[in-house]
């Protein structure tokens, strides 16, 4: 079950982010942006959602919010212990449903060009690459998905 994060979840979200993104530090040369996010601030804004395992550990989370008429998916992470269970897809689908429920017909996101798995996962989920840019010292690949509002 996906639920809105509370401030009590901050440490679990941070642990999940560190676990999910640590593998990319050598390729990028520094911690990826999601590892240094201000999760307390994001949780307080109500833009973080989590998935827990049966003993209350955070297995995954997603950060998204509307901006400029689209839903911006800022961060999605799954703890290594939960990889392969469909949590990432479920979190992304949750974001898309929330976008549609909010009357938004587009989800946008970016990933680091060194996160090569993402470069194939997002197109498989219906996202189209829109541009590549360097921002805040990171080489980012931008994606967009048009949703069908009923």
> For the chain (length 150 residues), average pLDDT per consecutive 10?
97 97 92 92 98 95 97 97 95 97 97 89 95 92 87
Give the C-alpha separation, 20 to 104, whole Å. Answer: 29
pLDDT score at 47: 98
Question: How many angstroms separate the CA atoms of 79 and 41, rounded?
Answer: 21
Decide if domain 2-146 falls under CATH 3.30.70.2740: no
Q: What pLDDT, on the 0 to 100 scale, is given for residue 136? A: 83
Number of Cβ within a 10 Å radius of residue 58: 24
3-state secondary structure of 112: strand
Flag whether the pTM goes above 0.85.
Answer: yes
State how far the Cα of 145 lies from the Cα of 136, in Å rounded to an integer.
24
Answer whether 53's CB lies under 8 Å from 8's CB.
Answer: no
Q: How far is 123 from 80, CA to CA, in rounded Å?
A: 22
Residues in the chain, total: 150
Write down the domain spans for the chain.
2-146
Whole-number pLDDT of residue 97? 97
State the DSSP H helix or E strand holding residue 128, giving kind and residue range, or none if neither. Answer: strand 128-135
Using an 8 Å Cβ cutoff, are 138 and 32 in contact?
yes
């Amino acid at each position: 079950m996906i639920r809105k994060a509370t401030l009590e979840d901050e440490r679990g979200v941070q642990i999940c982010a560190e676990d999910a993104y640590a593998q990319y530090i050598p390729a990028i040369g520094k911690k990826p942006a999601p590892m240094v996010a201000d999760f307390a601030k994001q949780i307080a804004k109500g833009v973080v959602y989590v998935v827990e395992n049966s003993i209350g550990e955070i297995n995954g989370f997603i950060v998204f919010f509307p901006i400029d008429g689209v839903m911006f998916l800022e961060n999605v992470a799954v703890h290594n212990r939960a990889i392969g269970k469909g949590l990432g897809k479920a979190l992304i689908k949750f974001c898309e449903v929330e976008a549609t429920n909010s009357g938004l017909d587009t989800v946008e996101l970016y990933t680091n060009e060194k996160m090569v798995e993402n470069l194939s996962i997002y197109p498989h989920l219906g996202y189209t690459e829109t541009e590549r840019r360097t921002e805040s010292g990171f080489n980012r690949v931008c994606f967009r998905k048009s949703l069908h509002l009923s």
